[in-house]
Structure 1
């Protein structure tokens, strides 16, 4: 295996790196761990992902690495990780349970646009694993089974149901493991810079959508908001997350674009102006560059069973 650190934008890409293949229509997956990694021992290279992961594991043994932390993997474990961190894992014996992945874009399309307000742990720096008692673990195990059943169905409302079940999953994580979490209390300076940037990013897009701002902020705007030199600010964000500030801005813009295209009846031009683009053509080129689809094609590709109204 290569010593290079890879970045994966989907579970399909990560699984393909091990020689497997996953079909993925939407930025959500759930699979049984024993099917993903039937052979062991397994040791992954170091990698970063652009999606959230929830591991619900009832049996198995191994180790999970996040940045400079190492955690033991064993039975009755609930593990949640965010995009951007340096990760790796080892499987020593068969893992039985569920691996769930989803993106911010998925949450905004199929849940609601202010998802980070309701679940602030979605921008946590490092989330340690939890080892609940059997009764609490069973709640999560049952949710995993429901999500998998719906994921494998042919229902026209499949992803709307999955969105609802994902909210239940996040509420249960919040209820049992994150009651007192406040992202601004995390210690290191670089962590605070990163978290403050993420909060500014979220607030800026909220202002854009509310009509309080008419231009898309750039690197220097976010650096100035923290009274930092743009070069230093950019270095910290890249070091802590593995992604440049421009990459974060582009991903956020695409996530909000997809949500608006999916959940509103506004024209492409109206959406472009709401997101700070001066003309629809620029917005369309930007969108196609990052998604391989034009805004019109993306909207047409949505399932006919999906209701575009909020």
Structure 2
């Protein structure tokens, strides 16, 4: 516990203690969402500060870029995002940009799963969804960079198109650790003068993420086996890493509005399977979740895949995962 806290504190301290000479010489970097921004911030600590493109308080699925954000993309040396098809409006804004576009969610060392279908997933097995096993502290074995203009459908190693893949890859901390390798490598390729700093920061971040997995695994163990429904199908990477599977989701993985059939299935699931909690998200109205649990014994909890309440910076990613775990445990342990 002490070591975990000290690693987080060290990352934050180096972030705010960056020298003006190094910061002035660092590359211009833009990052799509807060969890990835936190990882990049950690690696860039002492060199520069990346720009966060999508505000943390909104759902990325329903956002429209402002002119200032489009300009940030056009002026960037590097743009880090999950992958082009996750947020198509970012891909559109990046057309014609000279920036190096890096799809962290498509690095070959990142575990990827197919998106789940339907509103309920009883007995759902992740094993055939492209899990490449545990990550070691090794580098990525692929490029992970998008060629300009190559934003069409791609395929993973199992022949699945990107449209069928769940792109919320960052919610597995071991995926985040694999992404860290890609971030370090990319920054060094653009800014070799600060290579030693990037390597050192990356090594510290990987240690932090390894400690984070051990901590969360212990915390959620007390509620394994409890039935719960998530609002937005964004959590299977977290669920699979920590062996705490949800029973279904109100919205599809893309955040699209649920059909009447889907809502009926979810309501039936809550009533028939002794569901303990239905989790809403701060980016969405709570009325739908409230209507689903009305007249049942299920409680409403709140979980957040983005970190809407967190300040951007190196410590945000670990706090995001810790908050997600504690919110799950707090709601489920009462059932």
Same fold (TM over 0.5): no
- Higher RCO, 1 vs 2 (CA within 8 Å, ≥6 residues apart): 2
Task: From the two aligned structures, give the one with the greater strand fraction.
Answer: 1
- The normalised TM-score by structure 1 is 0.30
- The normalised TM-score by structure 2 is 0.28
